């Protein structure tokens, strides 16, 4: 039984808070904090009773974070705020002596750049204080790393090829909307792609490489090669990988909208002058797009995310595909959220549970694939993200 502080009250924060509230034997007291307290209050009211306390906090402000942590005295912080705020929250955890978990790696506000170096640099400080920081414990990154570790533990002697394949085949009925924070989502998609091959990174233009990939229960969907942060940690932690790539589906209408917005400058992250004041075009765009947490009620269809792996077992080639399909409607029925938020929030709750139960607790800074995958995989089946595996079958696309 432990206190937990959740920072961030968007779509993922809603899922994390509600899933934690369902496990009072693990999360004895919960506080949900955000810059906008009314969002926290609305989530707490939906849970009912006094299971969730709420607070206002500016996650960019270390003294404010420290004051809140010292007042509530949690055992750990679950950070589902913005990736820009990872380092300030880690600093506050170090100052107050509490454990830390997030779902996405740090990126600076003024540059669309995903890199773990800033957070890996905290390794010795967390270790010296006897604290744990668990990085990237959503779905991708997160479950995809656990899937890879599980494959390495149970099905392979060497991993050679890894493709992470992410399909959202849902329909929210909007002309253009993003499934998580629009600012983060659009920054991710509009930067250059990158994949690992033969010991080096190969860079591509944004959305330059694409192909149809067949997803279980969905069929063929056009999938685009992106750079995604778990590629950095997975290629480091599984050095036998000859190639590692990340693919994500986008509908043609989404891409058309995105290109128009790019062409007119609305995805820029540098300031422009408007009526005598500086604004960031992408932040203005975020303000006029639908709030991702509002998409759930009418969302139909499902997501499918998994890892397709080829390598060696007992000297012979082996292929392996492990994946989850998540229904948007089922997610909304359970936690009043859409499937993309659900697939991120549930693993964050499970990661926190692993830490608090001592199954994943050791001092330092870790990515999920560095820890024992078995108890996490068991909890995925238990708490809403059941997984399926196919061994020694033909994978949906080439492994040359």
Which domains, from first to last, does the chain contain? 2-135 (3.40.50.720), 143-335+384-391 (3.30.360.10)
pLDDT reported for residue 174 = 63
Torsion of CA 371, 372, 377, 379, to 10 degrees: -90
Yes or no: say if 213 and 397 are a contact pair by the CB < 8 Å rule. Answer: yes
pLDDT reported for residue 253 = 67
Whole-number Cα distances in Å, 196 to 136, 172, 241, 367: 19, 33, 9, 18
pLDDT reported for residue 293 = 60
Cα distance between residue 76 and residue 4, in whole Å: 5
Pure H helices in the chain: 11-21, 37-47, 62-72, 86-96, 117-120, 123-128, 143-154, 182-190, 230-237, 252-263, 281-288, 328-335, 339-356, 373-382
Yes or no: say if 7 and 36 are a contact pair by the CB < 8 Å rule. Answer: no
pLDDT reported for residue 400 = 47
In the chain, which residues have pLDDT < 70? 110, 112, 172-185, 187, 253, 256, 291-297, 395-400
């Amino acid at each position: 039984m432990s206190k937990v502080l959740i920072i961030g009250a968007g779509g993922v924060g809603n899922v994390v808070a509600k899933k934690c509230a369902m496990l009072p034997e693990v999360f004895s007291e919960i506080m949900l904090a955000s810059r906008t307290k009314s969002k926290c209050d609305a989530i707490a009211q939906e849970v009912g009773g006094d299971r969730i306390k709420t607070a206002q906090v500016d996650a960019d402000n270390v003294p404010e974070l420290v004051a809140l942590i010292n007042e509530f005295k949690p055992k750990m912080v679950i950070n589902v705020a913005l990736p820009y705020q990872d380092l300030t929250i880690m600093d506050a955890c170090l100052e107050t002596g509490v454990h830390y978990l997030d779902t996405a790696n740090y990126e600076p506000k003024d540059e669309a750049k995903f890199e773990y170096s800033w957070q890996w640099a905290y390794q010795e400080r967390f270790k010296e204080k006897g604290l744990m920081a668990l990085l990237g414990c959503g779905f991708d990154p997160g479950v995809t790393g656990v899937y890879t570790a599980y494959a390495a533990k149970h099905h392979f002697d060497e991993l050679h090829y890894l493709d992470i394949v992410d399909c959202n085949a849902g329909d929210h009925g909007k002309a253009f909307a993003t499934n998580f924070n629009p600012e983060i989502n659009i920054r991710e998609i509009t930067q250059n792609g990158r994949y690992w091959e033969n010991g080096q990174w190969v860079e591509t233009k944004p959305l330059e490489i694409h192909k149809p990939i067949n997803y279980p229960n969905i069929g063929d969907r056009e999938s685009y090669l992106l750079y995604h942060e778990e590629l950095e940690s997975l290629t480091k932690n599984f050095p036998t990988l000859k190639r590692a790539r990340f693919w994500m589906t986008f509908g043609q209408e989404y891409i058309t909208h995105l290109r128009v917005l790019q062409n007119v400058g609305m995805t820029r992250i540098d300031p422009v002058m408007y009526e005598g004041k500086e604004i960031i075009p992408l932040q203005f765009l975020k303000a006029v797009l639908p709030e991702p947490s509002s998409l759930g009620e009418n969302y139909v269809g499902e997501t499918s995310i998994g890892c397709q792996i080829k390598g060696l077992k007992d000297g012979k080639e082996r292929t392996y595909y492990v994946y989850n399909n998540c229904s948007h409607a089922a997610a909304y029925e359970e936690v009043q959220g859409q499937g993309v938020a659900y697939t991120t929030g549930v693993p964050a709750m499970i990661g926190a549970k692993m830490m608090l139960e001592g199954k994943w607790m050791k001092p330092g800074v870790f990515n999920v694939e560095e820890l024992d995958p078995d108890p996490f995989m068991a909890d995925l089946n238990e708490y809403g993200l059941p997984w399926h595996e196919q061994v020694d079958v033909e994978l949906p696309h080439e492994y040359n």
